[in-house]
Structure 1
Amino acid sequence: MSRSWIDDEPGWADAKQELRCVYARLRVRWKLALLITCVITVLGVGYRARKQRTFESTVVMRVTEVDLDMSTAPPTSNQLQQHLSEVALSRRALLKLIADNNLYPSEYRIDPNLALEHFREDIELYVVSNYFARERYSEDPPRSARIAITYTGVDPEQTLAVVRQLGKQVETEQQNARQSVSLEAAHTAEQALDILRAQLLKARQREATIKLDLPRLEGSEQEESKLELVRLASQIEELQRNIKIHTERGTDFQLRSQFEGEAMGLRFEVVDPGKQSRVLLTNREVLVIFAISCFLFVFPVAAVGVGTFDSRVRDVNSLRRLGLEPFGHIPTFKGVDRGSFVARTKASVAHNT
C-alpha cells in the first residue's frame, strides 16, 4: 500500500508526545513558569487598578414630524446625525453641561477645550432608521427617526443625569433650529406680500386716473384707454389672487413657528429614558476576580512557553528530535557520577572547609 505525504505529517500521537515532553520539562522548571505567571499577573492587576472604572447610560428618542401642509413645512436636514452633532451638541452647549455638572474638573482648570475634547470622546450619538433622509410628499406619512445617545462616565448616577440632559439638549436645539427656519420663511413671505401690495396700489391708482380722464377723450385715444382698463382689471385680479395666496402662506409659516416653539413641529418621544448602571461588585472584588482570571489564563501559556523553549536534553525522544539516534541506555548505578564535574566540585569544597 502506497504512502502519501499526508501520512508523514505529524498526527495526534505526535502532538500528545510533544505535550508529554513539555510537561516533563515543566516539572523540572515549574518555579520559572510560576514566577513568570506571577509577574505578568501583578503587572496586569496594577494596570487595571490604575484604570478608572467607567459606567454607561443610554437615552433613546424617537423623532416624528407632525402632519402639517408639506407646501409650507420647512425641510428637515437629510444628514440628521451630522446636524445634531454640529448644532445640538455644539461647543457652547457642551461647555455649559460641563460647567453645570462639574465634569472633568482637572482638565477644565487647565483648559476648557481639553475638557470639551474628553467630553466629546465619551459621547456616542447615532441615528437609527433615519427616514428624514428621504424626501417627503404630501401623501406620505410623517417621517421619523430614532436617536440613541450614550455617555460614559465615572459615576453611575451622574452619568444618567448627564445623558438625560444631552437628550433634552438635542430636543431643544432641534426645535429652535426648525423654528428659525419657519420664522425666516415667514419673513420672506411678508416681504413678497409687501411688493404685491405696492404693485396692486399702483395698478389701482392708474385705473382711477384713466377712468377720470376717459370722458374727455375721443376717438382712438378713448379706445386705447378702454383697452388699458381691461388689462389693468386683469392685472388687479391676478395681484389680488397672489396676495391671497401669500397671505395664507405667511399665516401658515407664522402658525408653524408658533408650533415649533411649543415643541409641535417635531414630536420628540422618549422611547427609553435610560437607567442607572448597577454596581454589582466593588473595585476590590473586581481586582480579585481579574487577578484570578489572569493567573489561570497566563499560567498554562507560561508553562507551555517554558517547556517549549527548554533546550536541555531530557530523554531518548529529545535526542531523536535533534536528529541523533541513541545506541542504547545505561541505567543509573551507584557511583555513576564518580569523577564528574559536580562530584569533583563538591569534593573540592569539602576539602577546603
Structure 2
Amino acid sequence: MAAEMQNRATRFQEEYYNLRAADAAVGDFRECRGSVGALTRTQQRDYAFKEELSFMQGGMKDNVHAESLVPPIEERIANPIFPWPSVAVLSVHAATVVGCCKDVGATLVICQWVFDDEANHLLMHRNLPAVRWVGGVELELIAIATGGRIVPRFQELTPEKLGKAGMVREKSFGTTKERMLYIEHCANSKAVTIFICGGNKMMIEETKRSIHDALCVARNLIRNNSIVYGGGAAEIACSLAVDAAADKYPGVEQYAIRAFAEALDSVPMALAENSGLQPIETLSVVKSQQLKENIPFYGIDCNDVGTNDMREQNVFETLIGKQQQILLATLVVKMILKIDDVISSSEY
C-alpha cells in the first residue's frame, strides 16, 4: 500500500508542475473534494474516480458505477505524503528546471506566475537572476521588445527562443524607495518609456497631459509638415480674410459670416487675457498691424518679448491641428443651432 501511494504521489507531482502547461489534449480540470484530475480526449486521469464526475443539486454523483481509488481515511491519515509529493521530489524537480534554464544560456528568467522560494534560491545559487511575478501584458511587451518567445514549459526552452537586451538594471525612486526594473537597449524596440516624477498626483497628471499634447504635435508634423504661426496670428489673419469676404454675400448670410469672423477673434483675446494683458486693446493693436503691413505673422506677445512677430519668437502650430480645432468648433455650433426648443421637466 505504501508503494502504491508513493507512485500516486509521484504521478500527482508530475501533473502538479505541468498543470498550467498541459498539452492540447487536455480538455478541462475538475476538482472534487481535494483531488485534482485532468480529463483528456483519449484518456481520463483522475485521482479519485475512474469515470467522469457530475455535480447535481449540490451533491456529487458518478455517471457510472465507478470504483473508488481513494484509500480509507485511516490510511490517508497514517501516511501524510498522500497525495502531495515529498519535499525531496520537489527539490529535485526545481533543480532540473534551473539547470535547464542555465544550460540554454539564459542570463535572466522572467515568469508570469510566481515560483516558490526553493526555485528562487537555486536560481541565485547558479548566478541566474529572476523576476518571479510579471503581469501578462508586461510579459508580452518584453517578449516583443527583446525578440524572445514565451514558453509554457521549461522543456521547450531552446537558445533560439531567448530574447536579447543590452542592459537590465533595478533602480529605486521616491521617498518610499520603490523599485523598478529597467530593460534597456532591446533588440526589436524603437519605443521609449517616459518616467514622470512629481510632488503630488495632480502635478504628475498635468505633466502627463502636457507630454501627450507634445507627442500629438510631433505626430501631426510627421503626417503633414505644414505650419501656421501661433500666438493667435492665424486666427487674426483668418478673421480679417473672412470679414473682407462678407461684403461679397448679400442678405442675411453676410451677418452670419461676420459673426464667424468675430468668433475667430475670441482665441487671441483669450490669449491676451490669460497673459495679463488688456484683451480688447491688445487685439486691436495686432489687427491694425496686420492690416497696415499686410503681414499675417503678428500675434499676441504672451511672453512679453517686445515684438509681436511670431517668426522671431519661433511660435508656430501645425496646420492640421489648427484645421481640426476650427472644424470641430464649427460642428459643435452647428449642432447647437439645430436644437429648436428645450422642454423643461417642470412643463410636464
With normalisation by structure 2, the TM-score equals 0.20
TM-score for the superposition, normalised by structure 1: 0.20
* Richer in strand (by share): 2
Higher relative contact order (CA 8 A, sep 6+): 1
More helix by share: 1
